[in-house]
């Protein structure tokens, strides 16, 4: 396996999310926030840390399977003076999630409550939204983000994903799933293609970095070139402009 640089070197968030949209989501979440905010599948917890910085009376727990991402999150928390309010746990949300939290963040992590990604099933929106609704009290806010179809899915768009047209729903369908789970929407956002282009560039930058720093006949070079080419084809000839990303600020009712 070639050793690639970690995603956090080229990405601020492990999701297509501009600084401007992040500011709007963070200020909606942080408004009057006290108690504990749980970030499930937090990655390196950039969003959670921004919410905690904006909500001085709140505490956070962030959980992710990726121990390296959690370690980087701890470094960020310490550098920002947030270590005493941010508990970052390397582990499975299904084992580590507290029973209650005053607010929650769940970005790109609905699969926690669904079948394993390898089974290529439709995304488990309803299960995720139901679990998040059980976590927070009436009035509690949840920042929920996940993939949607931004345009009618094509076979070329779906092929490099789960290979099925029903993997995702549309934005209006997602909002109704959130309402059915016991939320009302406070804000509804959809990532732009520009946010996606920036995300994909950061996502694939590790291949470019590797190829720029290793000789062309290195034993891993073919594999890195092929992985980079597969990802380029998947995006530019596949799901660009079709796979979208929704961000919903939801209030439990």
Ligand X SMILES: C[S@@+](CC[C@H](N)C(=O)[O-])C[C@H]1O[C@@H](n2cnc3c(N)ncnc32)[C@H](O)[C@@H]1O
Across-strand partners of 144?
A: 106, 248
Q: Is 13 in the site for ligand X (CB under 6 A)?
A: yes
Distance of alpha carbon 201 from alpha carbon 206, whole angstroms: 9
Nearer to ligand X, 98 or 176 (CB): 98
Distance of alpha carbon 221 from alpha carbon 199, whole angstroms: 24
Q: Is 107 in the site for ligand X (CB under 6 A)?
A: yes
Number of residues that bind ligand X (CB under 6 A): 21
Q: Quote the least distance from Cβ 235 to ligand X, whole Å.
A: 15
Nearer to ligand X, 66 or 220 (CB): 66
Q: Is 108 in the site for ligand X (CB under 6 A)?
A: yes
Angle at 46 between CA 42 and CA 52, to 5 degrees: 95
Q: Quote the least distance from Cβ 42 to ligand X, whole Å.
A: 5
User: DSSP for 84-138?
Assistant: TTEEEEES-HHHH--S--SEEEEES-GGGGSS-GGG-PPP-HHHHHHHHHHHS-T
Nearer to ligand X, 75 or 225 (CB): 75
Options 22, 25, 33, 43; binder of ligand X; rule CB under 6 A: 43
Nearer to ligand X, 124 or 171 (CB): 124
Nearer to ligand X, 140 or 202 (CB): 202
Question: Using CB atoms, what's the residue nearest to ligand X?
Answer: 41
Q: Is 10 in the site for ligand X (CB under 6 A)?
A: no
Options 109, 132, 169, 191; binder of ligand X; rule CB under 6 A: 109
Q: Quote the least distance from Cβ 192 to ligand X, whole Å.
A: 17
Taking residues 61 to 100 in sequence order and writing x for each that binds ligand X by CB under 6 A, - otherwise, the string is --xxxx--x----------------------xxx------
Sheet holding 35-40, edge to edge: 86-90, 58-64, 35-40, 103-107, 141-149, 243-252, 183-190
Nearer to ligand X, 47 or 77 (CB): 47
* Both tokens assigned to 203: 């996502």
User: DSSP for 6-73?
Assistant: PGGGT-SSSSS--HHHHHHHHHHHHTT--EEEEEET-TT-HHHHHHHHH-TTEEEEEEES-HHHHHHH
Residues that bind ligand X (CB under 6 A): 13-15, 41-43, 46-47, 63-66, 69, 92-94, 107-109, 111-112
């Amino acid at each position: 396996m070639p050793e690639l640089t970690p995603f956090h070197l080229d990405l601020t968030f492990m999701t297509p999310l501009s600084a401007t949209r992040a500011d709007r989501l963070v200020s909606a979440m942080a408004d009057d926030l006290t108690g504990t905010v749980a970030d499930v599948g937090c990655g390196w917890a950039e969003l959670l840390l921004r919410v905690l910085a904006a909500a001085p009376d709140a505490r956070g727990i962030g959980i992710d399977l990726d121990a390296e991402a959690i370690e980087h999150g701890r470094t960020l928390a310490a550098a920002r003076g947030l270590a005493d309010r941010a508990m970052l746990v390397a582990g499975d949300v299904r084992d580590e999630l507290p029973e209650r939290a005053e607010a929650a963040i769940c970005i790109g992590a609905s699969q926690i409550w669904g079948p394993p990604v390898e089974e290529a099933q439709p995304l488990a929106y309803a299960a995720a939204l139901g679990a998040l609704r059980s976590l927070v009290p009436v009035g509690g806010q949840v920042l929920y983000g996940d993939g949607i179809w931004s345009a009618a899915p094509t076979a070329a768009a779906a092929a490099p994903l789960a290979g099925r047209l029903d993997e995702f729903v549309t934005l209006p369908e997602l909002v109704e799933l959130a309402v059915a789970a016991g939320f009302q929407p406070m804000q509804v956002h959809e990532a732009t293609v520009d946010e996606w282009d920036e995300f994909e560039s950061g996502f694939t930058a590790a291949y470019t970095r590797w190829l720029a720093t290793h000789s062309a006949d290195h034993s891993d070079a073919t594999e890195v070139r092929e992985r980079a080419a597969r990802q380029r084809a998947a995006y530019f000839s596949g799901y660009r402009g079709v796979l979208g990303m929704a961000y919903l600020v939801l209030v439990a009712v």
